[in-house]
Amino acid sequence: MDRPSERNVTVSSIIARGRVRQASLFDTTVTVTRKSGEGYTQHGDGNWHPDATSQVYQGSALVRPEAASRTEAGGEEIEIGRYLVKLPADTAVEAGDLVTVTASTHDSGLVGQTMRILDVLADEWQICRKARATTQTDVPQ
């Protein structure tokens, strides 16, 4: 005979509980933007107008560093930082979107950091939306 607490357990209820638990761990606030138009130079005055962007998401997230790597590009050594960005499960982010950290509970050094999403992990039973992102910085000499 099943115990009463086990009779009503479903995959959907487990996912729902997992999503609530995961959201309680989000300690960072981010804004996610997507390029929505090409930049251009104004004819006549020569002023540059940067790419147009649209906001995809603004709210809580969890941003955690992964292993960074160093490489040479254009004769300069650069460090490529890797991050795992966790967002609410229904957040529609795509590769190429920019994630900017606007507040962080535990690491003020993250504030102002901008990362480009490299790929978005998909899973039918997803507890949160996971995206791998990268930053690029010059390596001090």
**Domain chopping of the chain, boundaries:** 4-138
Chain segment 32-60, per-residue pLDDT in tens:
999 887 777 877 787 877 777 889 999 99
Residue 27: what pLDDT? 94
Element (H, E) at 98: strand 98-104
Q: Are 100 and 110 in contact (CB under 8 A)?
A: no
Instruction: Name residues whose C-beta falls within 8 Å of residue 21's C-beta, 6 or more positions apart in sequence.
Output: 127
- Residue owning tokens 């790419």: 51
- pTM tops 0.95, yes or no: no
3-state SS, residue 95: coil
Q: Are 88 and 59 in contact (CB under 8 A)?
A: yes
CATH 1.20.1050.10 fits 4-138, yes or no: no
Residue 82 token pair: 């890797």
Residue 28 token pair: 């960072």
Q: Are 59 and 128 in contact (CB under 8 A)?
A: no
What type of residue sits at position 114?
Answer: T
Chain segment 73-114, per-residue pLDDT in tens:
788 887 778 999 999 998 999 999 999 999 999 999 899 999
Q: Are 131 and 85 in contact (CB under 8 A)?
A: yes
Model confidence at 24: pLDDT above 80: yes
Residue 60: what pLDDT? 96
